[in-house]
Structure 1
Amino acid sequence: MTGRIGTHRAWAVNCSILFTDLPLQERPAAAKDAGFDAVEFWWPWPGVPVPTASEEDAFCQAVEDAGVRLIGLNLYAGDMPAGERGVLSDPARAAEFRASLDVTARIAERTGVRMFNALYGQRLDGVAASEQDRVATRNLAHAAREVGAFGGTLLIEPLARGLNGAYPLETAADAIEVVQRARAAGAANVRFLLDTFHLVSNGDDVEGAARRYAADLGHVQIADAPGRGRPGTGGIDFGALFALLDEIGYTGRIALEYVDPRPDFAWMEDHRA
């Protein structure tokens, strides 16, 4: 599966949502066995900003032993299985978030990962939206400086309405507004993450967003919609999307972030050169 779309694009597989029948530490090897040479993960320790040294080592060792590249990692986002979607905008959790960045830096040093998805956080009762946005911008600028020290990039993505609580970023334009605020605060290394499932679920125009924000596009993740299954299970025209990505000059990985209890990658044969 290291084969490419066109002549220059390669795949990656998100091991936090695929191969979930296996323990997390066995998933990089499963990805390698399936033919992939690159993986990405959500934060591996839900609700735990600073894992033990042995837990951190075991995660990195699993990636190294599998012989795959870690190309993307979610920053600490709270307890995602419990429904949380980031802590960036929560004034009470800034110290928690910032403590996790030391872990991020160590993982980056060991694995070479340089892309970090920064989930924004859900709207909080009793805290003005403007204050949450101010805190998020400040935390983004801080995180951008931290990962920028080793060449890292932060990614901002919208999430599907109705599935992620009161998450305020629903469209590409919402994400770009956050990117621009972060840049105004001095964080030049913040970019837009285009996820097909989330955008289409919210009625956004994926191809229009890719074209409009091509200069800000940092990463692409794919799943079909509705359903968040593999391409071909919903209504997205992936052939047209891949052609457009070639047209606008996107040369990054396309990460598979879909739900598939028994991962089937046969659909990829229709999208090879």
Structure 2
Amino acid sequence: MDVTAAAKHSFTVNLSILFGELPLLERPAAAAAAGFTAAELWWPFGTEHTPSQAELDALRKAFGEAGVRLAGLNFLDDLSRGARGTVSVPSERDRFRANVPVAAELAASLGATALNALYGNRIEGVEPAEQDALALENLVLAAEAAHGIGAILLIEALNKAESPDYPLVSAAAAVDVVDKVNAATGLGNAKFLCDLYHLAKNGEDLAAVIDTYADRIGHVQIADNPGRNEPGTGELDFEDLFARLSAAGYTGSIGLEYRPSTGVSADSFGWLPRELRAAR
């Protein structure tokens, strides 16, 4: 693909999905060997909302020795057991709130400037309004914690095919939550995580999403559709999308959050010249 538009952006690599063939603590070094200097992570400790100091220190050491900055981190998301976040789930209230300062401290220690809070699935027997009220309370706490370390709070829409019980399955729904959090905190640091793969899988007009919500976008993530593999394996026109993001004034980074089509992460970056992989 033509990388003219890509050259205007900075890229990060999501180490929860890329280099997944390696143990977690080996992934920062593998990313560095591939030319990347910044990475993102889903919550890396499974269902442990307060990992041990040894676990935290080991992760910090792995990033430090690799010379890779952690650019973004999820709060407790429980993805390892099929959940899609814990923010709106009543039974997870205490675990999420205990996780907030832990995640914020870890993020701050590794230079992260973005924290992502996945909303959580709808729960049978619980009124949606009750879940939404809890989510707002929790997101206010998360936004305040993010603000305390100079970071933004990200709210993400997922796709309904893969996450049928997740309520934020459109850009408009995610941005509505962003606006409510900002109104409640007055901080203005809640932003839309514009994941182009999820939005494309939902059938959204990506150009219209970029143009409409450019002022709310705090981060962009990509994977091709269909397949959730690297750019060039599906139908999305990334050259056009990168150009549209630039034209709309987006100056943030773009996170690579795809599964390598061959199963070998190091072989999936051919579309992005090595000189463009280091964060700028």
- Give the Cα–Cα distance (whole angstroms) in 1 for the partners of residues 62 and 247 of structure 2: 36
- Give the Cα–Cα distance (whole angstroms) in 1 for the partners of residues 238 and 107 of structure 2: 31
Contact 2:72–2:107 (CA<8 Å) still a contact in 1? Answer: no
Using the aligned pairs only, state the percent identity. Answer: 45
Task: Number of aligned residue pairs: give it.
Answer: 269
- Give the Cα–Cα distance (whole angstroms) in 1 for the partners of residues 275 and 28 of structure 2: 23
Q: What is the identity, as a one-letter code, of the residue corresponding to 1:265?
A: F
Q: What is the identity, as a one-letter code, of the residue corresponding to 2:153?
A: L
Q: What is the identity, as a one-letter code, of the residue corresponding to 1:87?
A: T
Determine the structure 2 residue equivalent to 1:268.
272
- Give the Cα–Cα distance (whole angstroms) in 1 for the partners of residues 216 and 80 of structure 2: 30
Paired residues for 1:1-273 under 5 Å: 5=5, 8-78=8-78, 80-186=79-185, 187-260=187-260, 261-263=263-265, 264-269=268-273
- Give the Cα–Cα distance (whole angstroms) in 2 for the partners of residues 168 and 152 of structure 1: 25
CA RMSD of aligned residues (A): 1.8
Deviations 1:10-50 (A, max 9, x none): 11100000001100010010000000111001000111100
Deviation, 1:155, is 0.4
The answer to which of 207-216 and 100-109 deviates more is 100-109
Q: What is the identity, as a one-letter code, of the residue corresponding to 1:266?
A: G
Deviations 1:37-95 (A, max 9, x none): 110010001111000110111111111111011101111112x1221011100122211
Deviation, 1:5, is 4.7
Contact 2:169–2:202 (CA<8 Å) still a contact in 1? Answer: yes
Structure 2 unaligned blocks of 5 or more: none
Q: What is the identity, as a one-letter code, of the residue corresponding to 1:246?
A: S
Q: What is the identity, as a one-letter code, of the residue corresponding to 2:264?
A: R
Q: Secondary structure in 2 aligned to 1:71?
A: strand
TM-score if structure 2 supplies the norm length? 0.92
Q: Secondary structure in 2 aligned to 1:213?
A: helix
If asked which structure has higher relative contact order (CA below 8 Å, sep 6+), I would say 2
- Give the Cα–Cα distance (whole angstroms) in 2 for the partners of residues 30 and 231 of structure 1: 20
Change (3 A) 1:127 1:160: same
- Give the Cα–Cα distance (whole angstroms) in 2 for the partners of residues 4 and 221 of structure 1: 19
Q: Which runs of 4+ in 1 moved over 2 A?
A: 3-8, 269-272
Q: Secondary structure in 1 aligned to 2:166?
A: coil
TM-score if structure 1 supplies the norm length? 0.94
Change (3 A) 1:102 1:251: same
Change (3 A) 1:41 1:177: same
